[in-house]
Structure 1
């Protein structure tokens, strides 16, 4: 009996040990502590590098990174350029690889970069999982070539100018025109490979203007070339408008009820501020999205006829007008008028003066029924307060085609057309695009002369 009891105890102990062993194995294969995935190293197979700016590399692992090492090899010797150890759990780490001051030949054109990483997993007998990735480093210290072929002589505040230039680099990464106010204009390939054309715009709210062509290659080399425009200042009208109760309780309340019923509980002045500031901002953001696209296909030429959107229309409000609104002689709000207002007969037909694609045809708050047409090279025409549409988004339209009729939709008191011109999302003076002399001198002559110089 005693032996049988001892045997039972032994069997029980063995069974418990077996269960513990199985449980331990299951735990090892399912627990995050013993995860078996190697660290992820974000490293391309080939990298261009100018040896100046550090290479930024990201390493990640769910269990955390414990060790990272970066080494450069020039074909003869290897130099460790960065080593980091982490005791705290960090699932993502960034390392900056800088070229060493000693140990490697800076005139070498090709290097091999090796990144080794070990995670904090207890797998592999507590040694963790290891990953090692290599990349070929191609040294490129030459800046992209940039030179201006031709440009408009001047740019007027609120207006537009043209530039044609050549830009070349085998590893070109980005190419744009940078302004002093943060806006980037993107060029379109022009006439022959390696040549580009772009319009730039000077907003009315910016006091000064400068623009530079910026070319950046994949190695991080940057070229900047200032465009030498003569700057012509222009003063725009300022207006003080007294708000009337009839307007606040009529047009403003109606627009709120139609477009923003959730704001119906606001007071009359609060409704006006909402319409003139919040609604206007949202509407202009819609216009910005619709007018920011720039063609990337090469163009051989660019021609537009002067814009005359409303036959026999009279200008009743000017572009760039800075309006200050008052109630009982107390300031309430302000805004800028971003187009020309034309009035003619009620529900007068409006035409597009040039071919284009309808990119926007829908209700847009203060602009009412709103149409926007793309004419190429980042140029767009806008038609607001339409009573009805005769086109839809995606339609191709021809010069002289009737696209809509004037109306009183949106924030329009009387039947009229709000006509605007945009260049890469920036509202610009419609008068320039209605002027045949300006089009010839500032656009066509610049492009025609550029083509002759390119052919030399």
Structure 2
């Protein structure tokens, strides 16, 4: 009996001891894990400018983060950009922080770092017991270029004459390849495009002066290189002020009863809203929504110059409304709304064939709210023409068209009160006066002569 008791007592001691040993073995295995921490460096370009920001993500799900170190080596000299120690959760638990996003801001000039090639070094360690308690390590190197000089801009074109609501061409040369360049008109950037000249450093930009921008509007050329440095060049220019027509549009009940039912599901109006209430929503909110659609359609333009010379006007058509006409909408003799007409209305025989105004690629052929059936053609380098209120569309998206090809027929779809063509010209997302582009002399003096002056046909 005593032997059995002694044996039982022995097992009582062995079992806890074995459990402790097993627990220590498991803990050791866990704490001795050998997976390096994660380290991700996000860079849009290997070029670092005057005020670069490095975005770094570090993570270690098992042992937790111990330390992050970032340095830059240039001409044999090492500059420490960041050294961060993360807190421990205890000997057995590893680190408290398992994941962190870090930004490193520095100024090369302030650190005495000169322009040129350099090596970025990044080290992250975890709280693993590996390497005698130093932890697993992830070490990375990234070659970079320190570039703190802004690009130089040389404006090559001359005689930059704009009309309020009009367009113009600027040709300039860059000292280096850039991520972005173009002409700033006020706060609006009109991007430039290269590849038209043998010298790839030469760029062209079509720019527009909004109908609300007059003399005194700042216009200059900017360029931002891949390191984020921005160069700027003034642009001698002249903006001719224009006064646009004031117009009054009477809205009748018969027009509302005819047109509004087709719009009721295109606007957010309450059930039972009157046709007048629907009209106000269509003329305001839907008009803005349609413009947003056009900004997406014109956001990309082929870096080619498809068009040649002056643009075609609908033959035998009379002007029914002009560009930038300021319209007051009246109902029962009272002004109910104000809008600006951003195109020219041309009326001819009902359902007249509508010609493509110049060579280009169809980028839209669909119904568009107040404009009805609409075609938009990309003529290259940010220049677009728009044909609205069509009764029929005769082209498809992606189709190449020649000047004079039929794109559809005039009509009265959308918010049109009668059969006509609403014709617009856009420079990127800005409406400009189509009359300029119908004028052969204007196109020659303001566009093509500038290109020919630099040796291109």
TM-score range, shorter chain: 0.7 to 0.9
Q: Would the aligned equivalents of 1:54 and 1:96 in 2 still touch at CA under 8 Å? A: yes
Cα offset, 1:324, TM superposition: 2.8
For 2:71, the equivalent position in structure 1 comes to 71
For 1:336, the equivalent position in structure 2 comes to 340
Q: Distance in 1 between matches of 2:280 and 2:30?
A: 63
Q: Mapping of 1:416-431 within 5 angstroms?
A: 416-431=420-435
Q: Mapping of 1:310-325 within 5 angstroms?
A: 310-325=314-329
For 1:295, the equivalent position in structure 2 comes to 302
Query: Once the two structures are superposed, what CA deviation does each residue of 1:230-254 show, in whole Å capped at 9, x if it has no partner?
Result: 1111111233434333333331233
Q: Relative to structure 1, is the Cα distance of residues 45 and 236 closer, same or farther in structure 2, using a 3 angstrom cutoff?
A: closer
Q: Distance in 1 between matches of 2:328 and 2:56?
A: 52
Q: Distance in 2 between matches of 1:108 and 1:139?
A: 5
Q: Distance in 2 between matches of 1:27 and 1:19?
A: 12
Q: Would the aligned equivalents of 1:57 and 1:96 in 2 still touch at CA under 8 Å? A: no
Q: Relative to structure 1, is the Cα distance of residues 96 and 415 closer, same or farther in structure 2, using a 3 angstrom cutoff?
A: same
Q: Distance in 1 between matches of 2:108 and 2:148?
A: 13
Q: Does 1:399 find its partner at 2:403?
A: yes
Q: Mapping of 1:434-445 within 5 angstroms?
A: 434-445=438-449
Q: Distance in 2 between matches of 1:92 and 1:311?
A: 63
Q: Would the aligned equivalents of 1:368 and 1:409 in 2 still touch at CA under 8 Å? A: yes
Q: Mapping of 1:7-22 within 5 angstroms?
A: 7-10=10-13, 12-13=15-16, 16-17=19-20, 20=23
Cα offset, 1:28, TM superposition: 6.0
Q: Distance in 2 between matches of 1:436 and 1:54?
A: 48
Query: Once the two structures are superposed, what CA deviation does each residue of 1:400-453 show, in whole Å capped at 9, x if it has no partner?
Result: 22221111111111111111111112111011111111111111211111227x
Q: Would the aligned equivalents of 1:46 and 1:135 in 2 still touch at CA under 8 Å? A: no
Q: Mapping of 1:97-112 within 5 angstroms?
A: 97-99=106-108, 101=110, 106-107=113-114, 109-112=116-119
Which moved further from structure 2: 322-331 or 332-341? 322-331
Q: Distance in 2 between matches of 1:60 and 1:274?
A: 50
SS at match of 2:69: strand
SS at match of 1:150: coil
Q: Would the aligned equivalents of 2:37 and 2:60 in 1 still touch at CA under 8 Å? A: no
2:388 to 352, 367, 384: 384
How many matched pairs? 440
SS at match of 1:412: coil
Higher helix share: 1
Q: Would the aligned equivalents of 1:255 and 1:411 in 2 still touch at CA under 8 Å? A: no
Cα offset, 1:80, TM superposition: 2.4
Q: Would the aligned equivalents of 1:49 and 1:140 in 2 still touch at CA under 8 Å? A: yes
Q: Distance in 1 between matches of 2:26 and 2:114?
A: 58
Q: Does 1:307 find its partner at 2:323?
A: no
Which moved further from structure 2: 227-236 or 4-13? 4-13
TM-score (norm 2): 0.85
Cα offset, 1:227, TM superposition: 2.0
For 2:102, the equivalent position in structure 1 comes to 93
TM-score (norm 1): 0.85
Q: Distance in 1 between matches of 2:366 and 2:439?
A: 29
Q: List alignment gaps of at least 5 residues for structure 1.
A: none
Query: Once the two structures are superposed, what CA deviation does each residue of 1:356-404 show, in whole Å capped at 9, x if it has no partner?
Result: 2111101111111101112222211111111111111122222222221
For 1:178, the equivalent position in structure 2 comes to 184
Query: Once the two structures are superposed, what CA deviation does each residue of 1:153-182 show, in whole Å capped at 9, x if it has no partner?
Result: 30001110111222131x533322222123
Q: Does 1:363 find its partner at 2:367?
A: yes
Q: Mapping of 1:47-446 within 5 angstroms?
A: 47-50=46-49, 52-61=50-59, 63=61, 67-87=67-87, 89=97, 91-99=100-108, 101=110, 106-107=113-114, 109-119=116-126, 124=130, 129-169=136-176, 171-193=177-199, 194-207=201-214, 208-257=216-265, 259-260=266-267, 265-296=272-303, 303-308=308-313, 310-328=314-332, 331-446=335-450
Q: Would the aligned equivalents of 1:154 and 1:231 in 2 still touch at CA under 8 Å? A: yes
Q: Would the aligned equivalents of 1:161 and 1:443 in 2 still touch at CA under 8 Å? A: yes
Q: Distance in 1 between matches of 2:65 and 2:300?
A: 42
Q: Would the aligned equivalents of 1:164 and 1:450 in 2 still touch at CA under 8 Å? A: no
Q: Would the aligned equivalents of 1:110 and 1:139 in 2 still touch at CA under 8 Å? A: yes
SS at match of 2:286: helix
Q: Relative to structure 1, is the Cα distance of residues 57 and 402 closer, same or farther in structure 2, using a 3 angstrom cutoff?
A: closer
For 2:39, the equivalent position in structure 1 comes to 40
Cα offset, 1:70, TM superposition: 2.8
Which moved further from structure 2: 391-400 or 155-164? 391-400
Query: Once the two structures are superposed, what CA deviation does each residue of 1:213-264 show, in whole Å capped at 9, x if it has no partner?
Result: 222223333221122121111111233434333333331233325x458765
Q: List alignment gaps of at least 5 residues for structure 2.
A: 88-95
Q: Relative to structure 1, is the Cα distance of residues 442 and 65 closer, same or farther in structure 2, using a 3 angstrom cutoff?
A: farther
Q: Would the aligned equivalents of 1:44 and 1:135 in 2 still touch at CA under 8 Å? A: no
Q: Distance in 1 between matches of 2:77 and 2:105?
A: 21
